[in-house]
Amino acid sequence: MKNVVPGRSTGGFRLLLAIALSGFGIAGARADWKPIEQVQAYSISGTSGPELYASIGENGPKAGVGRVVAFTNFKLTWQRDYRPQADGSCKLVSARPKLILIYTLPKPANKLAEPVASNWKTFYEGVRRHERVHGDMIIDMVNEIVAYSVGLTVENDPNCKKVRTTLTDRLSQISQAQRQRSRDFDRTEMADGGAVHQLILNLVNGG
């Protein structure tokens, strides 16, 4: 997500939110694999909504040109089986992914009193749900890659070089489209009146 000024009522606090990467929706979920999910917390200080919000801006993980409030990243590796065929073509007969989703989220260092504790819980759960959408998008992207990869055949490729180039070109297209979908989702969520925008206002103005 881009940097956001949530509104005048926030007293000028800026939210630095960024989510990395997303993907395409695909019918027929993963049949023979599933992602590994990890949650990493970073510590923030403060006992009020504005203090917590300011600490996020100061201590959030770095991404791009600034700091972020929450970050979804992933590590993706593959086991692929390319097999030369009798007719001189090459076929990618299997492609098994290993996907690790890593969610980085803020965590207050101190116990919070009411009503801040409730406001924080609402904020945190909303941000977590937002991140999970990005995680689901990444899973869908991987499923699309699997669907394209398995059975991919290139003629006149006895050394299985052309098929790798063909696959790489397609993966680049999928990645670009995935990132655009991510940006579109963030733009909607962070627009005035959007879900993330409302979470910010409720945290900062709630106590």
- Per-residue pLDDT at 207 exceeds 70: no
- Where in the sequence is the domain holding 99, given as residue range(s)? 3-205
Per-residue pLDDT reduced to its tens digit, 106-145: 999 999 999 999 999 999 999 999 999 999 999 999 999 9
Burial track 39-63 (b if 16+ CB lie within 10 A, e otherwise): eeebebebebbbbbbbbbbeebbeb
Q: How many domains does the chain have?
A: 1
pTM for the structure as a whole: 0.81
- Cα(34)–Cα(142) distance, rounded to whole angstroms? 10
Q: 3-class SS at 37?
A: strand
The secondary element (H helix, E strand) that includes residue 91 is strand 90-108
